[in-house]
Amino acid sequence: MVATDEFIKEITFRICSSLDINDSLRSTFEYMRQHVPLDVLSLLIVDARLGAIRRVGLAVEDGIVPPSEIIPLPEGLLEKIAARNFSAPLIVDAEEDEIFQALTPVMRFEGNTDLIVPLRLNGEFFGVLAFRAGGEGRYSDLQAELLGFIAKPFAIALANALAHAEVLHYQAILLDDKRFLNRELHRDGADEIIGANTGLRNVMEMVRQVAPLNNTVLLLGETGTGKEMIANAIHFYSPRNNGPFIKVNCGALPENLIDSELFGHDRGAFTGAVAESRGRFERADGGTIFLDEVGELPPSAQVRLLRVLQNHEVERVGGKRLIPVDIRVIAATHRNLLNMVADGSFREDLWYRLSGFPIMVPPVRQRKEDVPALARHFLAAKSRELGIPSPPSFAPGVLMRLMEYGWPGNVRELENLVERELILRPGGPLTFDFLFSSQQAQEAASPTDIQRTGYPFNLDEAMTVHLREVLKVTNGKIHGPGGAAELLGLKATTLRWRLDKLGISYRRRERDAA
């Protein structure tokens, strides 16, 4: 047999030769098998979090099937292993030793000889170096004594491998955060809010009052009024402005994935969950999360959100531990949450948690003095997007006529109309003829012609009649293929807002009760 000093020196050199534990273990395996019987060499740790034995490194002879990477421990065995406090190398006797007897079904001891070298660091047992050779009686007590001398270098190598794996894990988290935030984080300064000193003056005063605090804020208002910009301003003025600002459109997340997207999931929580994933709340730790269209959350997500607001803790889907989060929640909706509470589609306790400090964002028709500034802002922004070097001018009198328009689609409608006009007249001047001509056509329609159709004069009443007819055709279906939103060419959230605004019942149970 090789001299002990030479053996230990060569093993130490090989096990420390690479940061990749499998590479260094393979090099060690090739040397060791020249001196001791060896088919499988593995580094194992007892993972209390998983309640299992987990393989960290492996070197194996070609054609040999090693034990599984994760070996679940039967109930009570973890405590028995901790009580045994292994300290010396031992040759496994699965018939006499109750610990190894319990592991026989998964470790496949039959027909093999296994030798275990306990690994200790600072006096604490934390893993083993496992040798396996095919056949019975392949290891002697003298070989076990020799292999006991290499426990210390392997313990150091195992500790380094675990530390290196942890570094790689956190590096992956940081890279993931960077990609995610680069894609989703768009921080706008409060100075970019058009109308901050005019039509939105009262709103901005409330923003400055609440921003330095940590309480939850609820933004209310019609679709397209700029609630996201107000949320940006709250975050911008807050002490959290150097932290992440995560924006979530609750209405755009698939219902079957919304819990996972918001709160994360652990590995194996559902089919396809091959790795743990942090949700939006964990990503927002130390910053702000903006929940747009919070009224679209399904009941299960409402329960989890309530727990976050009450306890500042997140429980992942399929997880068993609570993860503390330091976040501020800003929610927004165009829907009447009180009505939703009354009909049972929104939790009353969640409503009270969210509505502690509501801010109503007025529609454009209530702040028409901001229309010229908004139009100029979108003209400059859209010109840059479309590659127009010099923004064209507005035709004389156009801005005044834009102020007189009702803007049912609010700021978003104005932005889209400016973009359309730029595409039609990139050289200017911008006249918005298509808008005003359609408006004039509506105004010039003969009242007698309208009377003959049986439709009312009032636009809201006419719209109510039309929407009810469409809902009859779709049997109350709002979204999805063949739904009312698809037939009307609207987003489902926009259609629901119009239905709520006009007082049209569209939930099946309400119609059935009627």
What are phi and psi for residue 178, nearest 5 degrees? -65, -45
Give the pTM.
0.54
Q: Which of 326, 407, 423, 337 is nearest to 372 (CA)?
A: 407
Give the C-alpha distances (Å, rounded to integers) separating 231 from 29, 212, 498, 502.
59, 13, 24, 27
Question: What is the C-alpha to C-alpha distance for residues 75 and 297, in angstroms, rounded to an integer?
Answer: 39
In this structure, which CATH number among 3.30.413.10, 1.10.530.10, 1.10.8.60, 2.40.160.10 belongs to the domain 374-444?
A: 1.10.8.60
Say which residue, 189 or 284, is predicted with more confidence: 284
For range 440-468, the mean pLDDT: 59
Q: Which segments of 344-448 are extended strands (E)?
A: 358-360
Assigned token pair, 466: 């039309």
Max Cα-Cα span within the chain: 112
The secondary structure element, H or E, covering residue 70 is: strand 70-72
Residues 392 and 145: their CA atoms lie apart, in Å, by: 88
The string of DSSP codes covering 264-278 is: -B-TTSSTT--S-B-
- Is the backbone of residue 479 left (phi > 0), alpha (psi -120 to 50) or beta? beta
Query: Within its chain, how far is the Cα of 499 from the centroid?
Result: 31
Span 41-66, average pLDDT? 80
CATH class of the domain comprising 187-360: alpha beta
Domain positions in the chain are 4-163, 187-360, 374-444, 447-513
Same fold, 4-163 and 187-360: no
Residues 227-262: tens digit of each pLDDT? 999 999 999 899 998 888 999 998 888 877 888 888
Instruction: Give 348's pLDDT tier (boundaries 50, 70, 90).
Output: very high
CATH of domain 4-163: 3.30.450.40
**Which residue(s) pair with 217 in the sheet?**
330
Q: Residue range 484-490: average pLDDT?
A: 80
pLDDT digits (tens, 9 = 90+) for 256-279: 788 888 888 776 666 665 567 788
pLDDT of residue 288: 93
Confidence band (pLDDT; 50, 70, 90) for 188? very low
Q: How do beta strands 70-72 and 245-249 pair? A: unpaired
Contact 67, 107 (CB under 8 A): yes
